[in-house]
Amino acid sequence: MESIKHRSFFQDIKSREINGFRVRKRPYTGNDSQGFDPIGAVAVEHRGEPSPPMALSFCKTNKNAHILALTDEGGYITLFDTRKKYLDYSSYQENAEKAKLFEWVAHENAIFDLCWIKDDAYLLTASGDQSIKVWDTQQQKCVRALMGHNGSIKSLSCHPTNQELVVSGSRDGSFALWDTRCTKNAYQKLCVSPVSLIHEAHTSPGRRRCRRRGKAESMSITSVLYLKDEISVATAGAVDSVIKFWDTRHLKAPVTQACPNSQSSTEETRLHGISSLSQDLNGVFITASCMDHRIYLYNVLQLEKGPIETFSGGRTDSFFVKSAISPDAAHILSGSSDGNAYIWQVNKPQLDPITLKSHDGEVTAVDWCPSETGKVATCSDDFTVRLWNIQSSCYTNTRSPSSMRKRVRALPRIERKKLFCDEDVQTVCHVDSSPPPMKVVEVSTPQSQKKKCSLSFEVTEDLDAATPEAQMKSPSSVLNPPSSSKRKTIRDYFPVS
């Protein structure tokens, strides 16, 4: 019997954008685990020695999305083919050998995070050896080394469109911006220095008092995100539950910040660290997995209101426990210290989460497959990685938050032609759901401002590309665009104190 070919999250989102309210029903998980099938499990070991997995990530392109990259405490990178058939009678070790594509030693220390870039041709790894390496995945060869942190590097995130740009967070309390094209000098082509390095980005007010008393306090940056506006960066740390937002063009101070109780400054509500941040495909929502055993959901444009939803049910007893929002912002998947993984429906936070039971140790890193609907991966301290599938037979009419938008009809071609020629036209834009037709509005241009118009277009040179900064391809041309380019960022929505 042929297997059903699932549509991708991206196809669903495209369908919603084009067809408005007429969207395909997306998979919905009920409040039990009957809609979830374990696909299989593989062991994480090298030469017969088990190694705790640290981070995992599916490839980002549709053609490679079935490939899962895994890093572990031993410094290995392993690539698995998740479409392999896992037999019930096979051991986890046999499954691993069958599904394994490549494996190599990337660092002489644990690898805490990884990130696919450039259509999955390269892989970034962040390690406890205080370095970030860029790997050619076909040749398993290191092509760049990013050096500049003085502590273990805990988190990585790439620019949404220009993946030469990277932000990283370290245990030394700093976060750094990198341009992988810029090396130290001609004699060290492999070594890259940070473009910007911000120290003590998440230092609590009482840290100096703790120093005088001889107490040590963590100032680690635990998670970083490059936001979809392509300029802003979000950071979180082990000190408190505050998320800080930075404009990469002006890094002297954060633009704004968000925390679970923005109106309260009590010590109890602010001293729980954050283990991970995640964002949906459109960048509208950010989740923060907090050490108070809750996951908070924020709307990027309403940060001053605090979290719009809160999800509870799992346990976050260590900073290794991560969570991830699905690309379409419909569900949140999280590991847990109780040996289970949990899935919440974003639109119904009051419901109990789905429980995925199989692991025998703390469930740490998790990830959603971007193109195979419902496929997720979880890893655990029991030295295994498990794959799960949400059965497509469970549907709901509830739309995800990312699909909440009005349908607007475009002008017909003949009307567009008249509009370009500055002739009087009648607008026909209206929302389909409103029964009475909207009042016709006449659009015209004053005679004094009328100019001759032609429908033939010529290709002109990009003015920004002609600037000296852009010609040099220096970090300043990316992180500090010319003043003529007016781009809205998260900075434009919040006053700078």
User: What SS3 class is residue 263?
Assistant: coil
Instruction: Convert the pLDDT of each residue in 41-78 to its tens digit.
Output: 999 999 999 999 999 999 999 999 999 999 999 999 99
Strand partners, 426: 442
Residue 423 near residue 452, CB atoms below 8 Å: no
Query: How high is the pLDDT of residue 190?
Result: 86
Looking at residue 316, what is its pLDDT?
Answer: 96
For residue 93, pLDDT over 70 is answered with yes
| Percent of the chain whose predicted confidence (pLDDT) is above 70 | 65
Q: How many CA atoms lie within 13 A of 316 on its CB side?
A: 27
Name the more confident of 140 and 4: 140
d(CA 325, CA 56): 15
**Greater model confidence, 209 or 309:** 309
pLDDT digits (tens, 9 = 90+) for 380-418: 999 999 999 875 433 344 455 544 443 333 444 444 444
Output the average pLDDT for the chain: 77
Is 2.60.40.10 the CATH classification of the domain at 9-403?
no
Question: Which pLDDT tens digit goes with each residue over 428-448?
Answer: 333 344 444 444 444 444 444
Distance CA 393, CA 27 (A): 7
Beta bridge partners of 67: 81
pLDDT digits (tens, 9 = 90+) for 231-246: 999 999 999 999 999 9
CATH 2.130.10.10 domain residues, the chain: 9-403
Position 310 scores a pLDDT of 97
The per-residue pLDDT for range 189-228, each reduced to its tens digit, is 789 999 999 999 998 655 544 444 434 457 999 999 999 9
Instruction: Quick: pLDDT tens for 345-377.
Output: 999 999 999 999 989 999 999 999 998 888 999
Residue 255 is which amino acid? V
